[in-house]
Amino acid sequence: MGIFDFLTGEFIDVIHWVDDTRDTMVWRFEREGHEIKYGAKLTVREGQAAVFVHEGQLADVFTPGLYMLETNNMPILTTLQHWDHGFQSPFKSEIYFVNTTRFNDLKWGTKNPIMLRDPEFGPTRIRAYGTYTVRVKDPARFLVEIVGTDGEFTMSEISFQVRNIIVQEFSRVISGSGIPVLDMAANTADLGKLIAAEVSPVLDGYGLEMPEFYIENISLPPAVEAALDKRTSMGLAGDLGKFTQYSAAEAMTAAASNPSQGGGMGAGLGMGMGMAMAQQMSNMAAGQPSGPWGSPAPAAPRPAAHTAPPPPPVEHVWHIAVDGQTSGPYSKARMGRMASEGDLTRDTYVWTAGQDGWKKAGDVQELAQLFTILPPPPPGA
């Protein structure tokens, strides 16, 4: 082999990219003077794409595979260079490798609370956070719209913009969904799909797509959560009178069983509790009503001469949920007409203020009678 053949062999380049950063989205192949030899070997691995930019113009895009850079493999670049058949001189182009794999476990969250109108709590605020996945869908568009001439573009350079898009669409969707805050935890999967569908058109303009989107948590302000916990505790306590008696008895038992912490007082309280219980049992045996600690029950107060009448009962209004859509509010009379017309059944989900979540109409005592009252037989039957 002659010296010319040897030099010709040395001119052939091997162009490839191996990434171990797990954060790089685009990397520019650095070549002295951006000069690439005709017939160079280009290796594009799975999860990559190679984009050629010639004199500022986007040329060819190569998907995974092994290529010999010749005129038949570079149709657009050949047209831009006006090459004749068999042209074998070096050419100057920039090669950008684009990572097309998924970038996982990216965080998003609401920096400020989102205002919404809840059907049970009224105007309230919520916060939310979660994770998402993003990948490059169109390497050429991503290079033109986002990367530009950046020689090494990372995910951190665009994650802030993507988070802003997610939070904007999340705020809009969640405010107009009409889903009660207490039911959002059971609908995070559907909400995530809806929000991802709204974000996708915006990301598509960047050459990106969002394969996965997750809502990990939706929370209320601390003051609202404290009030909700208190309401739950009251529901668990049941009869407040019995709960108070039980709490006092537990405190007395604990004091009596700990002599080192005021044992004399604990013993006295224990004796007093025993006497009160004995008195209560004797009153029950004699048929005499007793108070909470065995004392005779106070006589019922006599009504005043001019007692004001009690206020009229507050009529409930009801909301109806059918196929994921809510309607209402409806009065009880309207609900009765809907039941007679067949628009309201026992299995229809209803909700009213003060009710803990959606329930079937047949399970609500106030509405169950609408399905049991039958009209009298017609005249002449």
Alpha carbon distance 381, 78 (integer Å): 95
For residue 230, being part of any structural domain is answered with no
For residue 287, being part of any structural domain is answered with no
**pLDDT at 52 > cutoff 60:** yes
What's residue 45's pLDDT?
92
Q: pTM of the entire structure? A: 0.54
Same domain, 107 and 213: yes
- Count of structural domains within the chain: 3
For residue 15, being part of any structural domain is answered with yes
Q: What is the pLDDT of residues 312-350, one digit of tens each?
A: 666 778 889 888 888 888 888 888 888 888 888 888 899
Read off the pLDDT band of 7 (50, 70, 90): very low
Contacts 24+ apart (CB under 8 A), 346-349: 346/371, 348/320, 348/321, 348/322, 349/320, 349/321, 349/322
Q: What is the pLDDT of residues 95-146, one digit of tens each?
A: 899 999 999 999 999 888 888 888 877 888 888 999 999 999 999 999 988 8
What's residue 89's pLDDT?
55
Check which CATH number belongs to the domain holding 116 and give it.
Answer: 3.30.479.30
Q: What is the pLDDT of residues 270-324, one digit of tens each?
A: 555 555 555 655 555 555 555 554 455 555 556 555 566 777 666 778 889 888 8
Query: Residue 197 is part of which domain span?
Result: 103-224
Residue that terminates a domain, selected from 53, 79, 99:
99
Pinpoint the alpha helices (H) of the chain: 3-11, 75-81, 139-142, 156-176, 181-184, 188-204, 222-237, 240-256, 263-286, 332-341, 365-368
Same domain, 125 and 163: yes
- Greater pLDDT, 103 or 269: 103
Alpha carbon distance 170, 109 (integer Å): 10
Residue that terminates a domain, selected from 99, 134, 154:
99
Same domain, 92 and 146: no
Same domain, 40 and 91: yes
**pLDDT at 244 > cutoff 80:** no
Same domain, 76 and 108: no
Same domain, 69 and 111: no
Same domain, 36 and 107: no
How many angstroms from the chain centroid is the CA of residue 307?
Answer: 54
Residue that terminates a domain, selected from 57, 81, 99:
99
For residue 235, being part of any structural domain is answered with no
For residue 376, being part of any structural domain is answered with no
